[in-house]
């Protein structure tokens, strides 16, 4: 019996570990070595799923701020990594062992370096307080996956394998207590680095405004899904900010440094992953274009494109499917759809803008929608097969079929010159002039950003007016 004591003792020591950030005892079933190993393993998955933003200057700038915070934390010897991932989502997240990620999509919503330090400090706090390790431990089988966020269908990926959003956001929900503690630690680390801790509630206020304007800004739910109640936390963090600020007048904001770093930053979709322009989706590297029905919301992700009719459960999707060797397009279409549980009611081989295709009508069911009718085309282009389909409940499908079919028939190749002419929207720095409004600035920028969103990315209420002479961030079309 005594031979089991060392094992039992080791379990107790790990389970009843001291929280490095608070000094309190807490249950934690993951050792520091396990944290680091788990973070390293999941880091490869994050980078594969989301991609790394290719601007070395932005990466170096963010990493520099993050590493300064890490060295001022209670766990400076972890192998810290701070990475900007190439996603338009507004988010930041942490893995155990010191792996911190911030999306390029959140950077335009920060107004100075102190706010960046607040975001990175918050995620650093999730690691130092071992919140990330606890979340990892709770994950099924001790593993963490990249979970899709359902932008169009509430509650996540409810369309089964056909409509997983695949946005690549690490979907870890923290409780209110963990979030407040991470806010407090983020403010603490920022103050230690001489950044103004008041930037933390400012950043939370901006995210709260995004919550209120979520119907106006695509991609907004991402941070709000993983970091709850930002406006409530503004009030909760104030005592910590006041304590850290007492007697201090030397805090820095460093707006110029942040503005220099994000001037020219890609805003929204990266053309390398396909880009939405109005009602069109254009993929320059794969050399094709699709026009979705007018006024439909379009969401692009690394794995697929989803379009949704306004105010109705009517969808279109575009994704690449496997092309078995030696199989004709009709066999590929029938096998793939039958494998997904759909029954073919009619179909034929056709040409779509010179491309071999099979267009069929199918009946089946999808999780979250129930029985659906689907018009789907399997299209061969440059050695790949693309599925372009529209679907809805059977009782509402027939009036929509013509619009779905028109969109399917819009799939066409683009030339090399057309592909090279597609450029992303980018952040630019602008000085407000007399007579400017958020509406007029948005219009002059090409209308690629809504006036309310333009106000929010500059830390202002959407109903406010921009201050003359102030340097602000705008978005200009490619």
Instruction: Tell me the per-residue pLDDT of 248-275, one tens digit each, with 9 for 90 and over.
Output: 999 999 999 999 999 999 998 899 999 9
Q: What are 25's two structure tokens?
A: 């005892």
Per-residue pLDDT at 463: 93
Measured between alpha carbons, how far is 270 from 425 in angstroms, rounded to an integer?
8
Domain parsing of the chain, residue ranges: 27-262, 271-420, 425-476
Q: Smallest Cα–Cα separation from 130: which of 208, 24, 229?
A: 24
Per-residue pLDDT at 53: 95
pLDDT grade, residue 160 (50/70/90)? very low
Per-residue pLDDT at 172: 53
Return the CATH architecture of domain 271-420.
3-Layer(aba) Sandwich (3.40)
| Dihedral of alpha carbons 358, 362, 365, 368, sign | positive
67 contact partners, CB below 8 Å, separation of at least 6? 80, 82
| Dihedral of alpha carbons 245, 251, 257, 263, sign | positive
Measured between alpha carbons, how far is 74 from 77 in angstroms, rounded to an integer?
9
37 contact partners, CB below 8 Å, separation of at least 6? 97
What kind and span of H or E run contains 191? helix 176-192
pLDDT tens by residue, 25-37:
666 667 899 899 9
pLDDT tens by residue, 35-80:
999 889 889 888 887 889 999 999 999 999 999 999 999 999 999 9
Q: Which fold has domain 425-476?
A: Membrane-bound Lytic Murein Transglycosylase D; Chain A (3.10.350)
pLDDT beyond 90 at 326: no
Q: Which residue has the higher pLDDT, 10 or 400?
A: 400
3-state secondary structure (DSSP) of residue 88:
coil
pLDDT tens by residue, 111-148:
999 999 999 999 999 999 998 777 766 653 444 333 32
pLDDT beyond 60 at 6: no
Q: Which residue has the higher pLDDT, 326 or 448?
A: 448
pLDDT grade, residue 426 (50/70/90)? very high
Per-residue pLDDT at 413: 98
Measured between alpha carbons, how far is 74 from 189 in angstroms, rounded to an integer?
10
What kind and span of H or E run contains 50? helix 32-50
| Dihedral of alpha carbons 246, 250, 252, 253, sign | positive
């Amino acid at each position: 019996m005594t031979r089991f004591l060392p094992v039992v003792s080791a379990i107790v020591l790990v389970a009843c570990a001291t929280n490095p950030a608070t000094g309190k005892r807490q249950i934690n079933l993951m050792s520091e070595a396990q944290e680091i190993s788990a973070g390293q393993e999941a880091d490869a998955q994050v980078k594969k799923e989301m991609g790394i933003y290719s601007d070395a200057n932005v990466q170096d700038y963010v990493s520099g701020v993050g590493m300064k915070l890490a060295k001022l934390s209670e766990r400076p010897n972890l192998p810290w990594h701070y990475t900007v991932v190439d996603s338009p989502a507004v988010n930041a997240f942490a893995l155990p062992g010191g792996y911190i990620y911030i999306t390029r999509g959140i950077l335009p919503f920060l107004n100075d370096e102190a706010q960046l330090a607040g975001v990175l400090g918050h995620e650093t706090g999730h690691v130092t307080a071992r919140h990330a390790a606890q979340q990892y431990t709770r994950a099924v089988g001790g593993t963490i996956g990249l979970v899709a966020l359902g932008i169009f269908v509430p509650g996540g990926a409810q369309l089964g394998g056909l409509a997983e959003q695949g946005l690549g956001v690490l979907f870890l929900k923290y409780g209110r207590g963990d979030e407040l503690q991470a806010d407090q630690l983020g403010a603490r680390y920022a103050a230690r680095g001489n950044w103004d801790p008041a930037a933390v509630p400012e950043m939370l206020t901006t995210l709260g405004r995004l919550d209120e304007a979520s119907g106006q800004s695509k991609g907004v739910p991402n941070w709000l899904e993983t970091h709850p109640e930002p406006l409530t936390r503004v009030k909760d963090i104030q005592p910590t900010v006041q304590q850290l600020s007492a007697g201090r007048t030397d805090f820095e904001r460093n707006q110029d440094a942040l503005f220099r770093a994000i001037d020219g930053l890609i805003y929204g979709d990266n053309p390398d992953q396909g880009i939405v322009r109005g009602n069109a989706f254009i993929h320059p590297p794969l050399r094709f274009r699709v026009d979705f029905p007018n006024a439909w919301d379009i969401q692009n992700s690394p794995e697929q494109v989803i379009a949704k009719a306004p105010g109705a459960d009517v969808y279109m999707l575009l994704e690449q499917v496997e092309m078995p060797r030696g199989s004709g397009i009709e066999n590929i279409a029938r096998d793939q759809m039958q494998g997904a549980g759909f029954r073919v009611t009619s179909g034929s081989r056709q040409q779509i803008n010179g491309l071999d295709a099979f267009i069929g009508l199918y009946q089946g069911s999808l999780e979250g929608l129930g029985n659906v009718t689907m018009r789907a085309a399997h299209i061969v282009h440059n050695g790949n097969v693309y599925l372009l389909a529209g679907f809805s409940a059977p009782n509402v499908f027939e009036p929509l079929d013509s619009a779905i079919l028109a969109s399917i028939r819009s799939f066409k190749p683009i030339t090399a010159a057309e592909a090279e002419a597609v450029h992303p929207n980018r952040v630019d720095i602008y000085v407000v002039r007399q007579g400017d409004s958020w509406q007029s600035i948005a219009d002059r920028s090409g209308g690629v950003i809504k006036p309310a969103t333009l106000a929010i990315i500059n830390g202002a209420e959407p109903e406010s007016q921009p201050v003359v002479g102030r340097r602000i961030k705008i978005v200009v079309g490619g």
